[in-house]
Structure 1
Amino acid sequence: MNPVEGTLEALPKLPKGGLRVVPLGGLGEVGRNMAMFEFDGRLLVVDCGVLFPENEQPGVDLILPDWSAYEDRLDDIEAIVLTHGHEDHIGGVPFLLRERSDIPVIGSRLTNAFVSAKLREHRIKAELREVKEGDRVTAGPFELEFFAVNHSIPDAMAVAIRTDAGLVLHTGDFKMDQIPLDGRITDLAGFARLGFEGIDLLMSDSTNAEVPGFVTPEEKLGPVIETVIREAEQRIIVASFASHVHRIQQVIDAAHKNGRKISFVGRSMVRNMGAASDLGYLDIPPGLTVSIDQAARMAPSQVVIISTGSQGEPLSALSRMATGNHRHITIEEGDTVLLASSLVPGNETAVNKVINALAKLGASVVSKDNALVHVSGHAAAGELLYLLNTAKPSNLMPVHGEWRHLRAHAALGRRTGLADDRIVLTTDGDVVDLVDGRVGIVGHIDCGMVYVDGGANSAGVDENTLKDRLILGEEGFLACTIVVSTSSRMIVRPAHAHARGFADNPEIVAAVEPLVDKEIQRQLEDGVRDAHKLAQAMRRVLGRWVSDTHRRRPMILPSVIDL
């Protein structure tokens, strides 16, 4: 039987005692992770993140998971479980809570601190439940157990979800650094215990499934970062994710060792590092931090600026420095810019643009391409195999990654002995049922992207608006206005056309005006009285002319005024 597509109502009924899993984001992409679990009529959300826009999404600030299929069932949600505090896992929480603010949010101490700061910006009060590794809590029919995992942010956790349908282990993002900076390793012993209990479904991080071996330990970066800071003669700007506490701690240590002050730049960086420091996750020696105003007045050799913008985000602090638009910091010849983070797929063009702009201003740019200043926070193939052999799941559902990552993870599952019918490859919106210990895709719900335009309190942007922006940006527009009297079947004022973006010379577009007049007069004489139909006739004339004459497809804006 072919899987059903459409709405939740069109799906086959979940068998009694079965568990339904619907990924709403994070599959086929790196970002906006979210999964909906359903058992006995109740729902559980795991993660609710955002994706940052690409060049093909002009004017968009954030991209959210699409939970619109569940908008009539928000009251059925027992809780939102957060695996860790990265934006691609927590950034969408305020937008979901805006629709139902009393959904409990369950996360670790640092994760909840980051979420709490976001909720204050959105003016949302919510119930935040703090958990730590080893804790067991219940949320309706879901029993949750949390396990420590090592990642590029403190307090990351995997979650085991128990129902009468079976046991699901969701790893969140993880790696197996055996000598992590905070001494908190991934709980393989706990996963082995679950394996003996019987894991019916493993949902596991796939981002580095194509990378052989094991990831490099985080501690290897410290000496390299220290060397970069020691050898720099002028100002140092370090760009990193605003949540990468371990990496920023290494920068702080190196700056302190070399007699430099530090200054945090960027709203999210200041907010997150303040929270991490207050909770004891970040150790900043007294007197080491200065304001950005103070940093701007200090000698360049005395300061390290820690900034957002490692992904080339247009409005980030680093991007504004690169374009010379930052209020406090001006890049000068001899400055050093250290990009201490990974490159999220899809951001290559934006990052390279920033690097080139910095180089043009005379800065030396140090990145993972020319120095060991970044290691991944995601398990490589050797680690994923280790987990599969330790946990021994009955079924595998690769999550968190592009399609090539998901397929590579599935191949690893087959190498450990899982049959093809025990591995389910899904995309956002696929409906996966776990029944009697077996998984299968039973349908697909409409699930797209939700674009946020204009900041925290704005509404979403639909696909049609985004398409219009692309057309305007790439092809320009052609507008034409004509005034008629349909009652007397006369043109009162002839057509007047103007264009932007493809033909700004008025004489060029003037050539189409007689063609419009001729067609509209013909329509009037044929008895057409409807202004909309006349506008459509005008659109056809304009479209045919611009295509034949200029081989372009601008946005066409016809206007008929009936006196």
Structure 2
Amino acid sequence: MNEEASKTAKTTKTAKTQRRPKSSPPPVRIFALGGLGEIGKNMYVVEYRNELIIIDAGLKFPDSRLSGIDYIIPDMSYLVANKHKIKGLFITHGHEDHIGAIPFLLRQLQIPIYGGPLTIGLVRAKLEEYRLLGQAELHVFHEDDRYVFQHLSVHFFRTTHSIPDAFGIVVDTPYGPVVHTGDFKFDFTPEDKPADLSKMASVGGEGVLALLADSTNSEREGFTPSERKVGNAILESFKQCEGRILFATFASNVHRLQQVVEAAMQCDRKIAVIGRSMEKVFTIGQELGYIRVPDGMLIDVKHIDRYEDNRVLIVCTGSQGEPNAALSRIASGAHRSVQIYPGDSVIFSSSPIPGNEQNINRSIDMLMRAGAHVIYGSIIDIHTSGHGNREDLKLMLSIIRPKYFIPIHGEYRMLLAHRSLAMQTGISEDRIFVMNVGDTLSVYRNRAKKGRSVSSGEVFISNGEMRTYEDELVEERGELAREGIVIVVMTIDAETGQILAGPDIVTRGFVYMQDARPLLRRAETTLKRNLSRQGERQEYNRSDWVRSTHRIMRRFFMKEVGRAPHIMPSILEV
């Protein structure tokens, strides 16, 4: 080989060795910020390159250990950090576990929100309540709409649920569609528009990359019963009631409310609506045509005494025994307009949410003590779930035929049960991913693997304010709930350390003050004696006196009553 050729060969070889390998295309990332291993706070994300689609933004209610907490919502810090990628929030339907976190999302991000007509109506009312409507960009979508972005596009298919305008959401990606079912069941005699089976089949025929599907009823056999069956049961139960009827259900169960209206029409009863959320849904439902009430049928609750008992129907919130709901206040005698009389019938039309059984049973007992005849699930079937049972879920899997499957919306055992169903329909176990909140699934054209987790967790809402999880806060509120509080008020001369007034003791949730006057007087005397001795021995120091008050009072109450309440000293220095 001559010198020139050799030089050329070396140059070519060097160029080949320096050439960078072709980069592989990025994955579609799928993850949940809420809704996995739990019932509630649903929030799911599909992300590709510089685009991110959010599906739902819900809340869940706290259990008994979280005293003083109103709601729990997802940690949205990942979304805040990647706000430049967000194309929009797309909502499957209008239940609180899918829309309840929207006001708190909008406090941190300004993003467009898309939903069906009723869903956006409910979101609008919620944002008005939080005074956020002016900064919200709301879009109503319909089942044939499509939103196209640079890399992703979003379209929809109608499903059947316990609320109108429930949709499955399809996110088209470069590797194929990602399908989110929303909450669904297959009801072939629905109260509203039927599910669009042909569109589901069309989406499935395109070759679905990944399916995220509702797992709530994955442990229940068969198909979920039709809403039509419940409508008949409601009518029959109304016919058997001779006095007033109080009907309690979820305010958002619009189909059920229309069934109640129709049964009331056949039984010639007027309807009074109680409960802020129930009144709101009735108003929005009537405006959109989902609730159809004849003129003159709705009456003010203050006027129910103008009608015979057998012509009155009261529709109210409180089917879960919520302490502040209308039915709970009626049961306890605390409602200003309605009291229970012997001969009244109370109908519970809902399934207990896990953890609410005790509150529901308490309400039932109070209603019965007041003389009411109470009809609930174990007596007559006046409720059916909006979530599909095992056969519904298998039918969805068979229609969509996904390459990869992610069970969502359920406690961990429900996700595992749904995985078993998917395997029965022919999806291999290595293509099914049971994930936790914050886990990511990186999906390529022909493979999928779990990736690096994103920031996730829970945010507590207390009195409208957001707080991250704090062990000390939860422990302190638990102590207050269990042991009560003792407030110690005194006035001190800051120069001499002399007690000028007090100490006076007020208690809440610890002992009943009227019955415990001698105990509290002894406590005041003991505290004053010990603090006075302390003032004689050393100079006054506020921090020392606060610590001493804690120590003396806790020791006194443990000795006297065997309990250690939370001590809150209030010292006024003059």
Report if TM-score (shorter chain) is over 0.5: yes
Do the aligned residues in 2 keep the contact of 1:17 with 1:165 (CA within 8 Å)? no
Q: Deviations along 1:149-177, whole A, 9 cap, x unmatched?
A: 01111110001111224421100000011
Distance 2:159 2:336 in 1: 40
**Map of 1:422-437 to 2, 5 A cutoff?**
422-437=431-446
Deviation at residue 545 of structure 1 after TM alignment: 7.7
Q: Which runs of 5+ in 1 are unaligned?
A: 1-13
What letter matches 1:108 in structure 2?
G
The answer to whether the 8 A contact 2:183-2:214 is kept is yes
Cross-structure match for 2:190: 180
How far did residue 439 of structure 1 move?
Answer: 3.8
- 2:389 paired residue among 380, 396, 408: 380
Q: Distance in 2 between matches of 1:276 and 1:431?
A: 38
SS in 1 for 2:202: helix
Counterparts of 2:545 and 2:78 in 1: how far apart (Å)? Answer: 39
- 2:28 corresponds in structure 1 to 19
Contact 2:80 2:109 in 1 (8 A): no
Contact 2:523–2:553 (8 Å) recurs in 1: no
Structure 1 position 331 matched with structure 2 position 344: no
The verdict on how the C-alpha distance between 1:537 and 1:323 changes in structure 2, with shifts beyond 3 A counting, is closer
- Deviation of 1:212 after TM superposition, in Å, equals 0.6
Matched, 1:248 2:225: no
When residues 517 and 170 of structure 1 are mapped into structure 2, their CA distance, relative to the original with a 3 A threshold, is farther
| 2:172 aligned with 1:162 | yes
C-alpha displacement of 1:540: 6.8
- Residue in structure 2 matched with residue 469 of structure 1 by the alignment: 477
Structure 2 residue aligned with 1:390 = 399
Cα offset, 1:556, TM superposition: 4.5
Q: Return 5+ residue gaps in structure 2 as ranges.
A: 1-22
Amino acid at match of 2:128: R
Task: Determine which of 432, 449, 462 is the counterpart of 1:453.
Answer: 462
Partner of 1:8: none
2: CA distance, partners of 1:313 / 1:54: 12
Correspondence for 2:145 among 112, 135, 139: 135
Contact 1:204 1:400 in 2 (8 A): yes
| CA gap 1:437/1:350 in 2 versus in 1, 3 angstroms | farther
Paired residue for 1:116?
124
Q: Report the Cα distance in structure 2 between the residues aligned to 1:559 and 1:332, rounded to whole angstroms.
A: 46
**Could you tell me the TM-score, scaled by structure 2's length?**
0.84
Structure 1 residues 181 and 562, CA gap change in structure 2 (3 angstroms): closer
**Deviation of residue 211 (structure 1)?**
0.1
Amino acid at match of 1:293: K
Matched to 1:337, the amino acid is V
2:213 counterpart of 1:209: no
Secondary structure of the equivalent of 1:99? Answer: coil
2:8 equivalent in structure 1: none
How far 1:531 moved relative to its partner? 6.4
Cα distance in 1 for partners of 2:198, 2:220 equals: 24
Contact residue 17 and residue 164 of structure 1 kept, 8 A: no
SS of alignment partner, residue 37 of structure 1: strand
Per-residue CA distance 1:303-335 (angstroms, 9 max, x = gap)? 211111211222211111111122221111111
Partner deviation per Cα, 1:345-369 (whole Å, 9 max, x = no partner):
2221221111111111111111222
Q: Is 1:269 aligned with 2:278?
A: yes
Q: Distance in 2 between matches of 1:117 and 1:318?
A: 23
Measure, in 1, the Cα distance between the counterparts of 2:349 and 2:306.
25
Who is 2:68 aligned against? 59
Q: Retained in 2: the 8 A contact 1:453–1:460?
A: yes
More off after superposition, 146-155 vs 511-520: 511-520
In 2 relative to 1, CA 108–498 (structure 1 residues): closer, same or farther, beyond 3 Å?
Answer: same
Q: 2:324 aligns with which of 310, 315, 326?
A: 315
Once residues 130 and 118 of structure 1 are traced to their aligned partners in structure 2, the CA distance between those partners, rounded to angstroms, is 16
Query: Please, which of 115, 134, 143 is the counterpart of residue 107 of structure 1?
Result: 115
Equivalent position amino acid for 1:113 in 2: G
Amino acid at match of 2:300: S
Q: Are residues 438 and 533 of structure 1, via their aligned partners in 2, closer, same or farther at CA, if it must alter by over 3 Å?
A: farther
How far the C-alpha of 1:271 sits from its partner, in A, is 1.6
Q: Distance in 1 between matches of 2:491 and 2:337?
A: 53
The verdict on how the C-alpha distance between 1:393 and 1:335 changes in structure 2, with shifts beyond 3 A counting, is same
1:434–1:485: structure 2 CA closer, same or farther, 3 Å change rule?
farther
The equivalent residue for 1:402 is 411
| Amino acid aligned to 1:555 | H
> 1:89 maps to which residue?
98
Q: For residues 219 and 510 of structure 2, what CA distance do their matches in structure 1 show?
A: 44
Aligned CA-pair RMSD: 3.3
Change (3 A) 1:483 1:275: closer
Q: d(CA) in 1 for partners of 2:441 and 2:534?
A: 55
- Range with greater deviation from structure 2 (154-163 or 383-392): 383-392
Correspondent of 1:555 among 524, 545, 566: 566
1:443–1:560 distance in 2 versus 1, CA, 3 Å: farther
From 259, 269, 273, the equivalent of 1:260 is 269
Q: Distance in 2 between matches of 1:521 and 1:403?
A: 62
- Give the Cα–Cα distance (whole angstroms) in 2 for the partners of residues 520 and 406 of structure 1: 64
- Alpha carbons 1:531, 1:561 under 8 Å: kept: no
Q: Output the CA distance in 1 between the equivalents of 2:149 and 2:97.
A: 23
Asked if structure 2 preserves the Cα contact closer than 8 Å seen for 1:207 and 1:401, the reply is yes
2:198 pairs with 1:189: yes
Q: Please give the alpha-carbon distance, in whole angstroms, between the structure 2 residues aligned to 1:76 and 1:536.
A: 51
Partners of 2:150 and 2:541 in 1: how far apart?
A: 58
Distance 1:179 1:561, change over 3 A: closer
Report the residue type matching 2:47 in the other structure.
E
Give the Cα–Cα distance (whole angstroms) in 2 for the partners of residues 229 and 511 of structure 1: 63
SS in 2 for 1:405: helix
Taking the aligned partners of 1:555 and 1:57, their CA distance within structure 2 comes to 17
1:438-478 deviations in Å (ceiling 9; x for gaps): 444334445333232335xx555864434322211102246
Q: Which stretch of the first structure deviates more once superposed, 83-92 or 53-62?
A: 53-62
Deviations 1:133-157 (A, max 9, x none): 2322124532112001011111100
Secondary structure at 1:48's aligned position in 2?
coil
Q: Which position in structure 2 is the counterpart of 1:3?
A: none
What is the distance in 2 between the residues matched to 1:549 and 1:441? 58
Change (3 A) 1:549 1:105: same
Cα–Cα, structure 1 residues 547 and 78, in superposed 2: closer, same or farther, change >3 Å?
farther
Equivalent pair of 1:236/1:305 in contact (CA under 8 Å): yes
Deviation at 1:202, TM superposition (A): 1.0
Q: How does 1:414-563 map to 2 (within 5 A)?
A: 414-454=423-463, 458-460=465-467, 463=470, 464-477=472-485, 500=507, 501-502=509-510, 505-506=519-520, 507=522, 552-557=563-568
Q: Report the secondary structure of 2:358's partner residue.
A: helix
Give the deviation of 1:41 after TM superposition: 2.8
What's the secondary structure of 2:44's corresponding residue?
strand
Contact 1:79–1:139 under 8 Å retained in 2: no
Q: Which moved more, 1:377-386 or 1:157-166?
A: 157-166
For the 8 Å contact 2:527–2:549, the answer to whether it is kept is no
Please say if residues 497 and 510 of structure 1, whose CA atoms lie closer than 8 Å, have aligned partners that are also in contact: no
Which of 370, 384, 391 is the equivalent residue of 2:379? 370
- Residue type matched to 1:141 in 2? H
Structure 1 residue 557: deviation in Å? 4.6
Equivalent residue letter for 2:129: E
Moved more, 90-99 or 497-506: 497-506
Larger Rg: 1 or 2? Answer: 2
- Looking at structure 2, the residues matched to 145 and 483 of structure 1 have their Cα atoms a distance apart, in angstroms, of 68
